[in-house]
Amino acid sequence: MGRAPMAWRLSVTLSVSAARGHPSAEGTASPGGRRRHRIAFGAMPTIVTLPGDGIGPEIMAPALELLRTISEEFSFEEHVFGGAAIDVHGTALTDETLAACKQADAVLLAAVGGPRWDTTDPGAPRPEQGLLGLRKGMGLFANLRPVRPVPALYDASPLKRERIEGTDLLVVRELTGGIYFGKKTRTARSASDLCEYSVDEVDRIARVAFDAARTRRKKVASVDKANVLETSRQWREVVHIVHRAKYNDIELTDVLVDNCAMQLVARPSEFDVIVTENLFGDILSDEAAMITGSIGMLPSASLGEGGVGSNTPGLFEPVHGSAPDIAGTGTANPLAMFLSVAMMLRHGLGWESEAAAVESAVDRALDAGLRTRDLGGEATTAEATRAVIDNLDG
């Protein structure tokens, strides 16, 4: 299996983690350097799978086929989640599912949500509550979303080729604070959502961003709304404190969120690492995803304290949603799911060579002309899956 080109490779270690490849009390390293996350010698890695809603089950099945092609060592444990769990259990995330995820070596999620469960009733369960609860319950505070257009897909981007060439950015989004987790109120005449961040929450996500930048072009854009919001003024102050204390080798720039949204379209190649709070990161990362030509191409990793070898398993999922409009048609693009598998192999299990092989296979399939409908082609989910698997040993 060959090593992947830089189009999909991402190297980042949380500041609190041990260096990759150094055995810990709960990890082992093979002679080839493959580190196994929290797995006893000889044991199979346990991966909890959450197919979720919409196209979720349709892209989870190919992901498992891909993993079984890579190795027979995996043990899979499936749980209903999101809207599917609401239908069965009346809640998007059961205690049993959360416990299983916390005990796993990694968690692989496909998609969550859909109009079937949309409601304005504040007391009604919603699929997205499961995702928020999972991140909070597992202590996953850092979301990593790499964005680098593949040359074969330059013409699929809504932006001109000359505008996106050279783009290679990473969005580091804080996941467990901010307005999504603040106190919520609603009366007949008003509603409110509290946006709140502690100094420690900002400090730790800033360190993740700076550490990531050290493996890249050493540039961090910290995105806030400090001209209006007090939480953003604190954010900016803490980020600068962290920068002065340990990261003077990194170029730090403050960018207002509205300006960042504009610059992502006008000059995306100028960005290296973007770090921001939960709400801003949610929006900006989806905007950045379209630079690649389709949100169906972007993977993500959500990590907690410790990284590979720690007691906190990571959550790996594609950026796209559940796409209920194409569910059941067999046309969903599985490539973001495959690239999320690669991130899981690298950041969740420490299987670097296998991760690189998956990324290489995706690149080769695209270079050979693979295009699903969202990329302007006609390939089905099954055809895309076969194209990637056939290129695993290419």
| Positions marked catalytic | 180, 225, 258, 282, 286
Chain position carrying tokens 């989004």: 173
* Angle between helical axes of 352-367 and 335-343 (0-180°, round to 10): 160
| Spatial CA neighbour of 39 closest among 91, 96, 103 | 103
**What is the C-alpha to C-alpha distance for residues 128 and 134, in angstroms, rounded to an integer?**
10
Residue 295 to residue 29: CA distance in whole angstroms: 35
Q: Which burial class, exposed, middle or buried, applies to 380 when counting CB atoms under 10 A from its CB (0-12, 13-18, 19+)?
A: middle
What is the four-CA torsion angle of 265, 268, 271, 277, rounded to 10 degrees?
A: 30
- Whether 318 contacts 334, CB under 8 Å: no
Residue by residue, DSSP assigns 291-330 as GGT-GGG-EEEEE-TT-TTSS---EEEESS---TTTTTTT
